[in-house]
Structure 1
């Protein structure tokens, strides 16, 4: 399974990869342009997008990806706080977790999206 992890913060990307472990192949990206490039190319099974990333947050990217890709893989948003879950739903994300990364919560969300 190939997982795209987007955040402009390398610590956030590292936290996600560390929480999920070596079970997946990761594409770690720091720019919105690279997210679009990799998603357009295909082969991504899940995208984890940091809602707090700059200059483009993961929620805006999620909305764009869901609107533009014919076969968009599941999208998981990392929100700034649990109360921002409604924003992730607005963006058409399939699931959300909040900062700080909880390995158990993230693992459960990813497992549900990939093994439904």
Structure 2
């Protein structure tokens, strides 16, 4: 181990996987640009994994080790609310996830799926970064 590697904190040595699910490429890019690849010196870097379909997202979640999911409720067929509930019910009851909603009246439905946070469009980069930072900081300290 080099001197440089030994000087790194555990958070700096490891990265976390975060999945962003949306059929809209611009939405996925907006999420990743809003959060970035690093949220702080005490947090690991982020490896972004994208999925445009719920089947692809579900397969990646089953195969991968994700610290957080960011799910677009506006995705057709199975939106982020339904996918989040499916993940919690069938794959991992402790999976952390954030739901993105377009209409304020959808918040009640999003709450039923019990996400860690609900963010309304248009995406506010500061709000999304704060939510992701809080969730990842809690996960790293566990």
TM-score, normalised by the number of residues in structure 2? 0.77
Please state how far the C-alpha of 1:113 moved relative to its aligned partner: 1.2
> In the alignment, what sits opposite 2:28?
13
- Structure 2 unaligned regions, length at least 5: 1-15, 39-45
Please state how far the C-alpha of 1:92 moved relative to its aligned partner: 1.9
Structure 1 ranges of 4+ moved more than 3 A:
none
Deviations 1:28-83 (A, max 9, x none): 11000011111111311100000001121100111111101245420100011334
Of 76-85 and 42-51, deviating more is 76-85
Mapped partners of 1:22, 1:76: distance in 2: 17
Q: Identify the match of residue 66 of structure 2 among 25, 32, 44.
A: 44
Of 52-61 and 82-91, deviating more is 82-91
SS of the residue corresponding to residue 22 of structure 1 reads coil
Report the number of matched residues: 116
> In the alignment, what sits opposite 2:133?
111
- Structure 1 unaligned regions, length at least 5: none
> In the alignment, what sits opposite 1:67?
89
Mapped partners of 1:27, 1:42: distance in 2: 10
SS of the residue corresponding to residue 101 of structure 1 reads coil
2:109 is the alignment partner of 1:87: yes
TM-score, normalised by the number of residues in structure 1? 0.93
Q: Identify the match of residue 79 of structure 2 among 30, 53, 57.
A: 57
- Aligned in 2, Cα 1:64/1:89: closer, same or farther, shift over 3 Å? same
